[in-house]
Chains A and B, each alone.
Chain A
Amino acid sequence: MQQIGDYQAKLTHDSLPLTLHLDRAHLNRTWPHVGKTADYLIEYLTADHTEPYRDESVSSAQYIANELLENAIKYATGTRICASSGVLDHQWIMLVSHQADPGHRDNLQKFLDQLNDNTAEEVMMERILSNAQAPESSGSGLGLLTVMADHQARLGWRMYVDPDLGESIDTMARISIGKSRNGSDPSNHNENVL
């Protein structure tokens, strides 16, 4: 098992776990459900709280949930994607798990290597410029970068071999959300940290 970045598997007891079962022959039919799933995860998050979370945080969580699920659909090699979302210690945490081939793991490692010497914003700006010069490219590669650079999410990954599913990967994202009783936010991390 390999753990990278700011990974923590702990979720609150009232987190919402969902499982998507993919029909690989008709992924175009699955795609519209990604956004609806992300929206549902966030609606569940905001449905029962006497002190509402900040609108900005909730909207960022919705964006991040959507990007993590889109990536899972693109890179999962199996037919099952598990997603959980919840709040713990003023942090909204999302965990997405799926099977992945070693090539995806290697690509992820290359992506992380870029972030060793540059900030997420610097890498994102370079990626945007290179995308503009490569019209034939089908993917933007901006999902995780916008999550980190624009929405200040902390990301972490766990790569492991599941006894039943084989090579698998968990992706975790978290952002500060909500306010403490005195109005301050003790977990307000704005730096681009992995």
Chain B
Amino acid sequence: MKIDGDDYSIDYDSESGITRFSGSLRLNGTDEYAPIAGFLDEAHADKSGGPSWDLTALEFLNSSGINMMYKFIIGLRKEPGVTMMVIGSSKIAWQAKSLANMKKFLPSLELNIQ
């Protein structure tokens, strides 16, 4: 499965179960992020064992996009025992600054900052 925009691409590999984000995501508010939120839900439903996101090629994400990711992660709290892995990059500012917040909402989240 894949979803593409002018400046971004999100690719779910059903074999590895990893969703890879790349490019720059600066959509306008929750409405424009709805298709991506739906895509992430579909990928989660397809993969057993919890979602895995590779964000290392996602160079820019605006606050609406960060909010979408937080919403997804908070939603996982309704699934006891679910595990989630997020791979990020310390070289990308929004990731270095904001990814650690994800663990505050889902302490079991495995955060791998490279």
Contacts and interface: CB of A to CB of B under 8 A. Distances in A.
Given A129-B74, A138-B31, A140-B67, A66 B91 contact: no
Interface bin, chain B:
20 to 34
A28 B63 contact: no
Interface stretch (B12-20, B49-57, B79-87, B92-100): B92-100
B105 interface: yes
Given A132-B75, A139-B30, A59 B92 contact: yes
A138 B28 CA distance: 9
B23 to A, nearest CB: 11
A34 B7 CA distance: 13
Nearest to A60: B93
Interface in B66-114: 66-67, 70-71, 74-75, 91-94, 96-98, 101, 104-105
A9 B64 CA distance: 28
B66 A142 contact: yes
A150 B29 contact: no
Contact of A28 (B28, B30, B62): B28
A28 B71 CA distance: 24
A32 B66 contact: no
Contact of B94 (A63, A135, A143): A63
A125 B71 CA distance: 12
Contacts of B66: 140, 142, 146
B90 to A, nearest CB: 9
Given A128-B67, A131-B67, A140 B29 contact: yes
Q: Lowest 4 A-B CB distances belong to which pairs? A: A59-B93, A140-B67, A150-B97, A132-B74
Interface of A: 28, 31-32, 34-35, 55-56, 59-60, 62-63, 66-67, 70, 124-125, 128-129, 131-132, 135, 137-140, 142-143, 145-146, 150-151
